[in-house]
Structure 1
Amino acid sequence: MVLLSDVVAVSAEVAATSSRKAKTTALAGLLRRLDPPEVATATALLAGELPGGRAGVGWSTLSSLQVEPASEPTLGISDVAAAIDEVRSISGSGSGQRRAESLTGILGRATADEQWFLIRLFGGELRQGALEGVMAEAIAAAAEVRTESVRRAIMLSGRLPGTAEAALSGGEPALAEFHLELGRPIRPMLASPAATLDAALGELSECSVEYKLDGARIQVHRDGDEVRVYTRTLREITRNVAELVDLVRGLDCRSVVLDGETLALDDAGRPRPFQETMARFGAQEERAELLHPYFFDCLHLDGTDLLDLPLRDRLKALEQVAGAYRIPGVLTPTPEAASALFDDALAHGHEGVVVKDLTSPYAAGRRGKAWRKVKPEHTLDLVVLAAEWGHGRRSGYLSNLHLGARDPDGGPPIMVGKTFKGLTDELLAWQTAEFQQRATREEGYTVHVVPELVVEVELDGVQTSTRYPGGVALRFARVLRYRPDKDAAEADTIEAVRGMLRGG
């Protein structure tokens, strides 16, 4: 039996090193020791996530618990799983007090180090975003299987713990059992930024160039008359987007999985503000804004999975089934044609273009160089780490944001700068309320929050700096908008930020 103390020790070891190899070795060593019933829970804990998602416990409850720690470690992985399930099952009148009592029970059996781990786990502070990538390598090492097999299973299932169970119990044959299932969303393939259009074109010998829309990512599954629509974070929004459901139900096919974007348009056909598109995803009542889909990939058609086919073949399937709703773009363009499309995208109110390798398969959940996004201004998606109470006109509001870039090796976000620019009165009021709900601690006038909110910032560039641990700092950053469609695992990496250094 593996104890929680073993998980805590490995978690600390992983956090203490910047070496990806050392992280993988430590994680794989623990995974090999697990009994089969422990694998799913331990994998989630090692990835810094509460098994099963949030349990309805706020930081105010957690910070108020004062429990004498146990002197010796006795908690097993199964004890932790049972405690989490118990807390999550509590609801109804007086649930807050009963959750506190349940938490007191499990904390009373934990050592001081285990208590700190559990409190951060329930509070959401252990989430480290990109640690999933390191975990995939660790699972592969522990099970002696190919890393690509693990990554593919995670992509298709969307479940890291379930993938670990399969790999450790059945090896390659068990991982091969994972396949695309209609009605179960898969991780979306992502684009990485390119400095210029010419640079992106120069990297790929055979490519397509498409509009980059200022919309929201969607993945649509149809099986007969049943249609389901998911966001980029795999949240189902089917009942909120009836017009998209009706449109896909009317396509000439039996089954299909489409990847694309959707956005609300004004009467002139130009995109409405991003926030209006996102408002539709959470709407509980009928709204006037209609969403228009723009599909750019086809992952399945009439019983045939297309994920492993090159993009050029997937685009042929897309044209066959949904050509009328395909995103504007050109195949194998000349540099002049690509530049003209880029200008056309901007003229129509969109963000820029995406350059895609026509020979590439669909590599879900990863930012590689097969898809490169090009925009005229410098923008980054960063994680909010903390905010400072404002002064003067902003007294009473959390204003100055502390921003972090994602650590691709699984550590916590790396701070790269601060900004209070671009915040409207509406955003100030919203973030003050949101941050207080996500607060983990206060230090003077700084409120630290669970690192899960992603904000898009515009900046003049970056510069080398010894002030922040990443060695770089943002120059003249200002907030464009929050990105509720993204989580911390989709924020830009510290490598992307460093890549913006002049001459870098």
Structure 2
Amino acid sequence: MHLSPPIEPMLARPVTALPAPGARPMLFEQKADGFRVLVFTGPQPYVQSRRGADLRGAFPELVQAAAELGVEAVLDAELVVWGARGLDFPALQERARRRRATAQHAARERPAHLIVFDVLEMSGAVLLDEPLRRRRAALEDLFATRRLTAPWALCPQTSDPATAAGWLDPVWGAAGIEGVVIKDPDSRYRRGERGWLKLRTRMTAEGIIGAVTGVVHAPRSLLLGRFVPGGRLKLIARSTPLSRPAAAELGSVLRPAGQEHPWHGRRFSAGWGTSEPLAFQPVVPDLVAEISVDTAVDMGTYRHPVRYLRLRDDMTAADV
């Protein structure tokens, strides 16, 4: 095998709409809610995370599948765990923390799967400079000739924009399909570059404005919550940076809160994977915001930043 880990995978940059009618024909693939991985198959199997980490200890069943594939290849895939209602990202996170005997037990109880969408090397031939349509053909041939079944799955792909638009339906989102990835069929695989496009499924929801970053009269972003049984205000989302008009609108109506605020004395992380505390200012939690959200929700909490749309003057905090 010519390629060896770690390899920087090709990435995608976010867009807000599918290509306009009449634009250059593109290919569309489902974006599943999981971990991005590169899988090295053959006598020395390896499962690499997007950032280069070794995942072999956490997913022994995938190491075995990679060793038994019968051909040396480097495959680009989404690592997922199925749940009762679709893809289960919290279960995937829990599995990623296990090692040794507990990882073996988890592999039997909640086996992982690989949704494969690209191939970088096959049987000693490096395919990085081959156009996507040829790499896809090689991938489809691999699935057909090897008659691959679980834990292998071939990522759905279409050239029909209407089918891709259908994949953006929230029904797909509820099952764990976050959106679509848009690719040029003639493009080569550019490691570490954002050469693809991704469009997430968006929906609207409501949240109680519980705090802000910045100052109350000129907020930079919002911390949003919902009341849960027992009267606790649970943090559900943090917004992207507010536009100037939105910050001015909110700054004129938000009111600072005191020690009676349910988040007084609480610590929230400043970002994913960091223990640095977030500096925030509690506000009286009586205003409701309409927000644009994607489908990545873990136990009621939105994993990605949400976008503020408007105030819901017709709703009270009790309505959320």
Q: What TM bracket, shorter-length normalisation? A: 0.5 to 0.7
Structure 2 match to 1:291:
112
- Partners of 1:377 and 1:244 in 2: how far apart? 34
Alignment partner of 1:234 is 2:52: yes
Structure 2 match to 1:371:
197
Q: Which amino acid aligns with 1:367?
A: R
Q: Which amino acid aligns with 1:301?
A: M
Structure with a larger share of its residues in strand? 2
- Partners of 2:67 and 2:291 in 1: how far apart? 42
Contact 2:46 / 2:56 at 8 angstroms: preserved in 1? yes
- Which one of the candidate residues 83, 86, 95 is aligned to 1:280? 95
Closer, same or farther in 2 for the Cα pair 1:217/1:195, shift >3 Å? same
Q: Which amino acid aligns with 2:177?
A: H
Aligned partner of residue 63 in structure 2, secondary structure: helix
Matches within 5 A, 1:45-444: 181-182=3-4, 184-199=5-20, 203=23, 205-222=24-41, 224-253=42-71, 255-267=72-84, 270-272=86-88, 274-284=89-99, 285=102, 286-287=105-106, 288-322=109-143, 324=148, 325-330=153-158, 332-333=159-160, 335-343=161-169, 345-346=172-173, 348-368=175-195, 370-377=196-203, 400=211, 402=213, 417-421=221-225, 424=234, 432=267, 438-439=275-276
Q: Which amino acid aligns with 2:81?
A: A
- Partners of 1:418 and 1:245 in 2: how far apart? 42
Contact 2:10 / 2:193 at 8 angstroms: preserved in 1? yes
Aligned partner of residue 92 in structure 2, secondary structure: helix
- Partners of 2:280 and 2:15 in 1: how far apart? 40
Structure 2 match to 1:460:
292
Closer, same or farther in 2 for the Cα pair 1:239/1:417, shift >3 Å? same
Q: Which amino acid aligns with 1:190?
A: L
Gaps of 5+ in 1: 1-178, 380-398, 404-414, 447-457, 462-477, 483-490
Displacement after TM superposition at 1:191 (Å): 1.6
Identity %: 27
Displacement after TM superposition at 1:371 (Å): 2.8
- Partners of 1:444 and 1:326 in 2: how far apart? 44
Displacement after TM superposition at 1:329 (Å): 2.1
Displacement after TM superposition at 1:402 (Å): 4.4
- What whole-Å deviation, never above 9, does each CA across 1:267-288 have from its counterpart, x for those lacking one? 46x112x222122112132322
Contact 1:252 / 1:321 at 8 angstroms: preserved in 2? no
Displacement after TM superposition at 1:358 (Å): 0.7
TM-score using structure 2 length:
0.61
Contact 1:209 / 1:356 at 8 angstroms: preserved in 2? yes
- Partners of 1:220 and 1:365 in 2: how far apart? 16
Bigger CA radius of gyration? 1
Q: Which amino acid aligns with 1:364?
A: R
Closer, same or farther in 2 for the Cα pair 1:443/1:357, shift >3 Å? closer
Closer, same or farther in 2 for the Cα pair 1:425/1:377, shift >3 Å? closer
Contact 1:258 / 1:295 at 8 angstroms: preserved in 2? yes
- Partners of 1:302 and 1:281 in 2: how far apart? 29
Closer, same or farther in 2 for the Cα pair 1:195/1:250, shift >3 Å? same
- Partners of 1:350 and 1:238 in 2: how far apart? 25
Aligned residues: 238
Aligned partner of residue 138 in structure 2, secondary structure: helix
- RCO (CA 8 Å, sep 6+): is it higher in 1 or 2? 2
Contact 2:46 / 2:54 at 8 angstroms: preserved in 1? yes
Structure with a larger share of its residues in helix? 1
Contact 2:223 / 2:235 at 8 angstroms: preserved in 1? no
Displacement after TM superposition at 1:227 (Å): 0.8
Aligned partner of residue 221 in structure 2, secondary structure: strand
Structure 1 match to 2:245:
none
Closer, same or farther in 2 for the Cα pair 1:418/1:261, shift >3 Å? same
TM-score using structure 1 length:
0.41
Displacement after TM superposition at 1:299 (Å): 0.6
Aligned partner of residue 264 in structure 1, secondary structure: strand
